[in-house]
Amino acid sequence: MSDGGRIALAIGDITEHEVDAVVNAANAALQLGAGVAGAIRTRGGPEIQAECDVHGPIEVGAAAVTGAGKLPARYVIHAAGMPVGGRADAQSVRSALRHSLELARARGCKTLAVPAIGAGVGGLTLKRSAELLLAEARRHLEGETCIEEIRFVLFDESAYRVFEAVHDEARVLAAKERSEAPGVSRGR
For residue 43, is it within any domain?
yes
Is the per-residue pLDDT at 181 higher than 90?
Answer: no
For residue 62, is it within any domain?
yes
For 31, phi and psi rounded to 5 degrees? -90, 120
Q: If residue 137 lies in a helix (H) or strand (E), which one and from where to where? A: helix 126-142
Q: How confident is the model at residue 183 (pLDDT cuts 50, 70, 90)?
A: low
For residue 97, is it within any domain?
yes
Tens of pLDDT, residue by residue over 109-136, are: 999 999 999 998 899 999 999 999 999 9
Q: How far apart are CA 60 and CA 2, in angstroms?
A: 30
Q: Other CB atoms closer than 10 Å to residue 161's CB: what's the count?
A: 14
CATH assignment of the domain containing 30: 3.40.220.10
Q: Other CB atoms closer than 10 Å to residue 107's CB: what's the count?
A: 14
| Cβ atoms of residues 61 and 50 within 8 Å | no
Domain span at 12: 2-180
For residue 166, is it within any domain?
yes
The number of domains in the chain is: 1
Mean pLDDT for all residues in the chain: 92
When mean pLDDT is compared across 126-130, 138-142, 184-188, the lowest value belongs to 184-188
Q: How far apart are CA 62 and CA 109, in angstroms?
A: 18
For residue 186, is it within any domain?
no
Q: How confident is the model at residue 188 (pLDDT cuts 50, 70, 90)?
A: very low
Peptide bond into 57 cis (omega under 30): yes
Q: How far apart are CA 183 and CA 139, in angstroms?
A: 24
For residue 187, is it within any domain?
no
Q: How confident is the model at residue 34 (pLDDT cuts 50, 70, 90)?
A: confident
For residue 188, is it within any domain?
no
For residue 48, is it within any domain?
yes
